[in-house]
Structure 1
């Protein structure tokens, strides 16, 4: 039904709004996901919903990644769930242990970045979760471990909404790159997956794209150019 409504509005909206990952698709998905996450938290928290936050601010940043760039390695379920919860736990731990908000916040964000990187669940909003929880635990409100529950409800509900909405609108999530079985070859030239890994290692930079997606893009580009070249020489 959602695909039908979007396709019916195609003639009334600019291509940037609906084509591929247009802003309209992401805006609708993100808004609905935040609403659903809040409602789920209210229901599950019950009488505690007045004492605990129903929605936490880092969830908004997670929604941008999940619905606007669902193919990003930073937007996958492992990162959304693991990155936020791990960082929140680090923030609460350091906030309680140190007691000084600014020092606890700085250490929490730094350690959260390291922990997310090592556990392969790097998620930028996780840094915000670490900061939020460190300030809450070290501040006058002295956040306890109960504050981890609404955060967990938020990220799980958002992930469920992301899975449903992204797949419904034609963007499989979790994302899996569609890489052909073998790389293209021409004039004795060929590359391997290991070659791509070696080039990325030489660059010594972290790119916000999965190596399998790079492989698929390169192969699709090669085939397009090769096809055009063959047509010109017939």
Structure 2
């Protein structure tokens, strides 16, 4: 039988010597990593004024986008905008809530997923590829926005057309950001955005 290993090498020298103890140690280390800490760190509860302001802001942002959608007949609203509202009104200081991230992230996720959809269809593996590629592109361009992962799935699940890139992805994002800019800056203790680009 002909061997394809380099001269003087055998399978024992190439494969690591695994025994029960080394396997057990690797499993134990893995379990320690996934267990997490013993005590949950609670989220800091904001003041009542902040909660009310966040709720009112998200109401105005979503209602304005929905109203414009009805009046113009253009589909400006999609489910991921609910999560976007959590960020831009609930934690407006977050780097993930800045206009570059909201508009850029949603646009990039829509563009990537539309491209994958039209090249490969809406197969399960293509859905995974759309979300994964959208995340990678957002990280690469500095526009990471968590709700944009859902934008990629919406495109794949609805088999959207190229128009989705502008309406609702781009136009809806711009409307929400403008609502956040106007509304958040009405409060004395809020400044939005922290940066545009």
TM-score (norm: length of structure 2): 0.71
Q: Which structure's CA Rg is the greater one? A: 2
Q: Are positions 1:16 and 2:42 aligned together?
A: no
Specify every segment of 5 or more residues in structure 2 that has no aligned partner in the other structure, as ranges: 1-45
Question: Is 1:108–1:131's contact at 8 Å kept on the other side of the alignment?
Answer: yes
Decide whether aligned partners of structure 1 residues 135 and 101 sit closer, same or farther in structure 2, where only a CA change above 3 A counts.
farther
Specify every segment of 5 or more residues in structure 1 that has no aligned partner in the other structure, as ranges: 1-14, 138-142, 177-234
Decide whether aligned partners of structure 1 residues 136 and 101 sit closer, same or farther in structure 2, where only a CA change above 3 A counts.
farther
Question: Is 2:122–2:156's contact at 8 Å kept on the other side of the alignment?
Answer: no
Name which of 138, 157, 168 aligns with 2:175. 157
Tell me how far 1:166 sits from its aligned partner: 0.7
Distance 2:170 2:69 in 1: 9
Name which of 169, 172, 181 aligns with 2:191. 172
Name which of 85, 104, 114 aligns with 2:136. 114
Question: Is 1:30–1:63's contact at 8 Å kept on the other side of the alignment?
Answer: yes
Question: Is 1:37–1:153's contact at 8 Å kept on the other side of the alignment?
Answer: no
Tell me how far 1:40 sits from its aligned partner: 2.1
Question: Is 1:33–1:158's contact at 8 Å kept on the other side of the alignment?
Answer: yes
Distance 1:166 1:16 in 2: 15
Distance 1:102 1:125 in 2: 20
Distance 2:84 2:120 in 1: 28
- Deviations, residues 128-147 of structure 1 (Å, cap 9, x unaligned): 1011112222xxxxx21122
Q: RMSD across aligned C-alpha pairs, in angstroms?
A: 1.6
Q: Are positions 1:100 and 2:117 aligned together?
A: no
Runs of 4+ in 1 over 3 A off after TM superposition: none
Question: Is 1:105–1:134's contact at 8 Å kept on the other side of the alignment?
Answer: yes
Question: Is 2:84–2:147's contact at 8 Å kept on the other side of the alignment?
Answer: yes
Decide whether aligned partners of structure 1 residues 124 and 109 sit closer, same or farther in structure 2, where only a CA change above 3 A counts.
same
SS of 1:173's equivalent in the other structure is: coil
Question: Is 1:41–1:150's contact at 8 Å kept on the other side of the alignment?
Answer: no
Tell me how far 1:54 sits from its aligned partner: 4.2
Question: Is 2:62–2:176's contact at 8 Å kept on the other side of the alignment?
Answer: yes
- Deviations, residues 112-168 of structure 1 (Å, cap 9, x unaligned): 11100110010000111011112222xxxxx21122222222111100000001111
**Structural mapping, 1:60-99, within 5 Å:** 60-99=82-121
Structure 2 match to 1:36: 64
**Structural mapping, 1:41-60, within 5 Å:** 41-44=69-72, 46=73, 49=74, 53-60=75-82
TM-score (norm: length of structure 1): 0.60
